Amino acid sequence: MASLTETQSMIIATAEAVAEQFGPDYWREHDEREAYPEDFITALAEHGFFGLTVPEPLGGSGQGLVELVLVMEALCRGGGGGGPALGYLFGLLGTMTLSHAAKTEHQLENLKALASGERLCAFALSEPDAGTNSFNISTTAVERGDDYVINGAKWFITNLQHSQRLLLVTQTRQLESSESCGLSLFLVDLPSEALSFSPTPKHGFNYYKSNQLFIDNLVVPKSSMIGEPGKGFASLAPTLNAERLLVAAGAVGTARLALQAAVNYAKEREVFRGPIGGHQAIQHPLAAAHAKLEAAWLTVLEAASLDDEGTRPERAAGMANVAKYVAVEAAIDACYQSLQTYGGAGYAREYHQERWWREVQLFRLAPLTQQMTLNFIGQHVLGLPKSY
């Protein structure tokens, strides 16, 4: 990628300034209390970060995916670690999908409210039997007059407690027919009496509750469907590509923060003679982690540029998967080396290494597992037979 434009440099500086206001102690304290970072999310909204890629006439600033990954990386690197990543990512999925697919007045009005951060939209795709295999969804939406009636169950649905809308992925294929995978998307108002949920205690990212969701006879008007009936996956596809790159950027930002902390510590900490950073057993892993992160970051920027150009969609999709894979692996290595550099202190909550280590693991598992990025690269980039 060419050097940064003036606008991009300004966007990075703004994101860094926001990140600085909410440094590592803020996130440690919220993680321990399992408290939602309300004031951080408000700051993102105030700076227009939720509407960054929304077209200007719809209340956004009409930027591209490159700018979005620059913001994500800066928020994480600038002090947040993984903390900002899930809040920002899940605040963007509904917005990005509506940006591509909103048609009705009601949907456009919602998009404006999401772009300004006045409303937040959670995203419900995963089910106990439909995570990696999202076509296996069994939450059904059945036509009834001018409405659809939705029933089913989802899991791991993040931030329902703080969202006013839900992008809900359902199956509209009639159960007796089997001619298409038939996914359909709905934009649903929250809260709703037909929706009940409870959080699943988890390993990290305790600022954001991830929930089991039960949907019991939820009635929604046909106008709340986004995109075509049964063709919801087409409306989701561009968002899922962006999602991979946002995760990659969050991983790189988190790891750069962890690595910088380790470098500072290695310059100061003396155990035998001189600082521990003078030993190759400490220095080389940190240097190697830095090299891998730099290479991964260039890949993320290249993949985001390809997506923005829009002229080579197959290459863009391949690079998004490559970027997600290498960025997450590089980030996990860097966070591990950072923790190791701190010795026993790395394991203590007082420092931040153990939290960043917990957080960065998630990016291997969600929203898309590393195995599925390799399946994509194997099949669509290398041209190997589909392996599953």
Which parts of this chain interact with ligand FAD (CB under 6 A)? 90, 123-126, 131-132, 156-158, 202, 205, 210, 362, 365-367, 369, 371-372, 375, 388
Shorter beta-carbon distance to ligand FAD: residue 59 or 253: 253
Q: How far apart are CA 224 and CA 4, in angstroms?
A: 40
Q: Give the list of residues 6+ apart from residue 279 with CB closer than 8 angstroms, or none.
A: none
Q: Of 157 and 327, which has the nearer Cβ to ligand FAD?
A: 157
Shorter beta-carbon distance to ligand FAD: residue 124 or 319: 124
Q: Give Dmax (Cα) for the chain.
A: 80
Distance of CA 131 to the CA centre of its chain: 15
| Beta strand extents in the chain (DSSP E only) | 121-124, 140-144, 147-158, 165-171, 183-189, 195-199, 210-221, 225-226
The residue number with the shortest CB distance to ligand FAD is: 131
Strand, helix or coil for residue 284:
helix
172 vs 341 by CB, closer to ligand FAD: 172
**b/e code 22-37 from CB counts within 10 Å (16+ = b):** bbbebbbebbeeeebb
What's the closest the beta carbon of residue 126 comes to ligand FAD, in angstroms? 3
Q: Which residue from 252, 271, 255, 272 is spatially nearest to 263, judged by alpha carbons? A: 255
What are phi and psi for residue 127, nearest 5 degrees? -135, 165
Q: Kindly tell me which of 158 and 171 has the beta carbon lying closer to ligand FAD.
A: 158
CB of 44 to ligand FAD, least distance (A): 17
Rounded-to-5 percentages of helix, strand, coil across the chain? 60, 15, 25
- Return the SS3 of 357: helix
Judged by CB, which is closer to ligand FAD: 124, or 263? 124
Tokens 């800066």 identify what position?
Answer: 74
Residues 6+ apart with CB under 8 A from 12: 4, 70, 71, 74
**Which CB atom, from 290 or from 355, has the smaller least distance to ligand FAD?**
355
**Helices 83-101/24-33 angle, 10° precision:** 90
Pick 92 or 293: Cβ nearer ligand FAD = 92
What's the burial of 99, exposed, middle or buried (CB within 10 Å: 0-12/13-18/19+)? buried
Closest of 311, 300, 217, 314 to residue 251, by C-alpha = 300
Nearest distance from C-beta of residue 357 to ligand FAD, angstroms: 15
> Residue 202 or residue 231: which is nearer to ligand FAD going by CB?
202
Judged by beta carbon, residue 131 or residue 318, the one nearer ligand FAD is 131
- CA neighbor of 357 nearest in space, from 255, 210, 284: 255
User: What minimum distance in Å lies between the beta carbon of 150 and ligand FAD?
Assistant: 15
Minimum Å gap between C-beta 208 and ligand FAD is 8
Work out the angle between the directed axes of helices 83-101 and 105-115 (0-180°, nearest 10). 150
